[in-house]
Amino acid sequence: MDGYGIFIPIVLGKWAYISIIGTLTGLWWAEALISGAITGMVVGDFNLGLQIGATLTLMSLGMWTYGGATMPDFNTGAIIGKAIGALAGAGANSLEVGLAVAIPTSILMTQL
């Protein structure tokens, strides 16, 4: 795969927006697991999307925003990590690359 056309980033950007709004309103489908699965369907590697989403969902267990604390945005991390991980190619290397991008992205989105 040489890269993505313009259609996939637009769809993923719209899904990231919907996911962030869902997180702020407390909807059940606004989880990293769901974001990873939907990104996997869009990009074409559903299994990798579930793996990255499940890992980020496990990282978010027990975290909640009490008293002004801010938790990482694992939804956006799952979307970006899955998209970059799919570009790395098939195999275990794509999971490592996806998580290596997803975790810093989640933390960076806390600041944005």
Distant-in-sequence, close-in-space partners of 108: CB < 8 Å, separation ≥ 6: none
28/95 Cα distance (integer angstroms): 25
pTM: 0.81
* Neighbouring C-beta atoms of residue 49, cutoff 10 Å: 29
Q: Which pLDDT tens digits describe the chain residue by residue (112 residues)?
A: 567 888 988 999 999 889 888 877 877 777 888 888 999 899 888 888 888 889 888 888 877 767 677 778 888 889 998 888 888 876 668 888 888 999 899 889 888 7
